[in-house]
Amino acid sequence: MVTLSRKFSTAISDSLACISLKQFPQNPHKPTPFYQIQQQQQQPKQLESQIVTTLDGCKNLTQIKQVHARILLNGLDQSCYVLAKLIRTLTKLNIPVDPYPLSIFNRVKYPNPFLYNALIRGYLIEERLNESTEFYSLMRKEGVVPVSFTFTALFKACGATMDVGLGRQIHGQTILVGGFGEDLHVGNSLIDMYIKCGFLECGRKVFDEMPNRDVISWTELISAYVKSGNMESAGELFDGLPVKDMVAWTVMVSGFAQNAKPREAIMFFEKMQEFGVETDEITLIGVISACAQLGAAKYADWIRDVAEKSEFGGRHSVVVGSALIDIWNDVSTVRKLMRTRGLRKNPAFSWIESEKGMVHEFFSGDMTHPRSGEIKQALEDLLDRLEAKGYQPHLSSVAYDVNDEDKRHLSVVWDGALEVGSRDPLSSHGGLVVD
């Protein structure tokens, strides 16, 4: 965990305080007509928009450097709007902040908040929280006022690293700077940060003090209570939610199922259908799990019909079709339904990667590989070495109706090889990697 201690300065630097009107020469000639001023101002804006659009289409560093050259040739080397987009494009393509994007930033005389944000975001992409907070400190020292995106990015990083200490300091900055108490995005990111750091009650306090909330504010807190097993608090928040969308309903249905409250899960799902709320795969899997816990096969046909109407039935979703097996006792019924619905399961396969990076895929009993004979021999040698170390396969664990020798092979491959290999790794020969 990264623990940082920062002293954020709000003083305006001397470089900004010494600006004088003498630096801006007076024009003794006749004032330029207004329509000409509009044309002169419009041309740079159009050029900036064109460059930003071009940057959106850049796919590699060579293309970005070509656009950068165009920026310099057109005298836009101090345009924070264009340069912020340039830096964001570089970091999006995983170009390290140091040295290229950093050198772009350092050449700007008066960077604005968005240019600072671009560099802070770049450092956060590289998981360099220390550098990002240093740039925030520089931003405050230079008298540049942060914007909401500054704080949301920092809170996200604090949550990812679970650094609640730094997160609290930045929380204090939102109060010191002022104007962010009513910012919805800052509030939601702050709740998320506290929840990820394990301080649910702090997140709840932020939620309670927010003057404005949206469905994200409510749902992320409801989800946090569900994960902690506190379905009572989750239910209270859900009842207070002004507009209940599919996500909120799904969180409650799945939450009750996961917390061993299957009857409540089915009840919520029934209400969900009564109110005409749409259903997705996650909702269906949650209620199917609840039915399986109760052993309530009588709900199977009803849930199947809901799934079909929502286009998540067996024909469209293998996940939902497989989950329905849990509440059908008769396997033959399931197999018949799979045939009539046209549900086909893709055959499972294994794969092995050679030393040269080539990946080989194979199915059960597949002998089409050109080195299958060597692979089989390597497996036989492995089995002999396992037995030499005293391993005896448990033949009773093999459910197939085959002889003991075949059971021995199946048991060792799927059980013993992994078990003994984890205690005493075995090397292989002949260029084959046995994993």
pLDDT at 179: 80
Verify cis geometry, omega within 30 degrees of 0, for the bond prior to 99. Answer: yes
Distance between CA atoms of 80 and 77, rounded to whole angstroms? Answer: 8
For every residue of 363-415, DSSP letters joined together read: -TT---STTHHHHHHHHHHHHHHHHHTT----GGG--S---HHHHHHHHIIII
Rg of the chain over all Cα atoms, to the nearest angstrom: 31
- φ and ψ at residue 350, rounded to 5 degrees: -110, 165
Q: Provide CATH code, domain 244-346.
A: 1.25.40
pLDDT at 101: 92
Domain ranges within the chain, ordered by starting residue: 244-346, 352-423
Distance between CA atoms of 158 and 124, rounded to whole angstroms? Answer: 10
Closest CA to 252 of 266, 240, 211, 242: 266
- φ and ψ at residue 351, rounded to 5 degrees: -145, 155
Q: What is the mean pLDDT of each run of 10 residues along the chain (435 residues)?
A: 42 34 39 41 76 90 92 90 92 90 92 92 89 90 90 92 92 87 91 94 94 91 92 93 91 91 90 88 85 72 76 64 61 62 67 67 66 76 78 55 57 44 37 40
